[in-house]
């Protein structure tokens, strides 16, 4: 039985460490008590998109330990979350640091709010796969072999799945977000590109830019269903 709303306070699930960040923070994953998890859900590969962590945490805190059927990484970039930065502590955009065929050593430029110029420069890393956070996540995925990864971002307001899988279609329908084959611009060295090259299905869940209360109302139930195995029957 799920927790009541009055029990949403502390996070009582116990994680295990799968590595360390550049500043020595433990990289944590929450896993089911039994069964091999088929879905990995992760938030905050960009530290300035930490609402993904908030929503995932609320979903996890609403569950009893035995209800958790998927693996959850609340923050793939904990140093960035603590600093409020998109990048990790070395100024690297982790979502451009993966060893892919399209990785580029050129600086990565982004905008920190809609309507502004895309002129804030970050590093993609000295070489592809240079960062400890990147190496740790790659090893974790190689060890656990998830059948689907759902990576939560902000704030493009869409569901990105080039295969338009049944799970992505259902999430798009429930969230009211557009289902798209890509985000509309090049993403060299991205985690999504790496997953595709490894033949690992990935859905990029781009949260919309809206009030956090409305976000919780719309997206927490979807994330909770991802956590509890509701979508496992739809896996190919």
Which positions are catalytic? 206
| Residue where the block lists tokens 């977000």 | 177
What is each CA distance from 30 to 13, 63, 114, 156, 169, in whole angstroms? 7, 12, 33, 27, 26
Reduce the DSSP state of residue 48 to 3 states and report it: helix
According to DSSP, the residues that pair with 30 across neighbouring strands are 72
Neighbours of 115 (CB within 10 A): 5
Distance, C-alpha 165 to centroid of its chain: 18
User: Distance between CA atoms of 190 and 103, rounded to whole angstroms?
Assistant: 8
Tokens of 29: 């994953």
Specify the DSSP class assigned to residue 92: B
């Amino acid at each position: 039985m799920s927790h009541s709303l009055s029990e949403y306070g502390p996070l009582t699930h116990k994680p295990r460490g799968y590595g360390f960040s550049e500043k020595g923070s433990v990289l944590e994953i929450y896993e089911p008590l039994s069964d091999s998890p088929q879905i990995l859900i992760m938030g905050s590969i960009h530290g300035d998109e930490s609402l993904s962590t908030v929503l995932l945490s609320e979903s996890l805190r609403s569950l009893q330990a035995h209800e958790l059927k998927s693996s959850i990484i609340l923050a793939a970039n904990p140093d960035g979350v603590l600093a409020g930065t998109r990048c990790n502590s070395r100024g690297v955009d982790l979502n451009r640091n993966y060893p892919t065929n399209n990785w580029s050593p050129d600086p990565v430029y982004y905008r920190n709010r809609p309507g502004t110029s895309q002129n804030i420069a970050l590093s993609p890393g000295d070489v592809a796969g240079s960062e400890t956070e990147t190496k740790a996540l790659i090893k974790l995925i190689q060890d656990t072999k998830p059948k689907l990864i759902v990576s939560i971002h902000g704030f493009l307001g869409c569901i990105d799945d080039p295969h338009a899988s049944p799970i992505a279609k259902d999430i798009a329908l429930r969230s009211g977000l557009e289902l798209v084959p890509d985000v509309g611009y090049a993403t060299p060295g991205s985690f999504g590109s790496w997953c595709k090259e490894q033949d690992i299905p990935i859905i990029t869940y781009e949260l919309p830019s809206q009030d956090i209360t409305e976000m919780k109302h719309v997206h927490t139930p979807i994330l909770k269903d991802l956590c509890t195995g509701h979508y496992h029957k739809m896996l190919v």
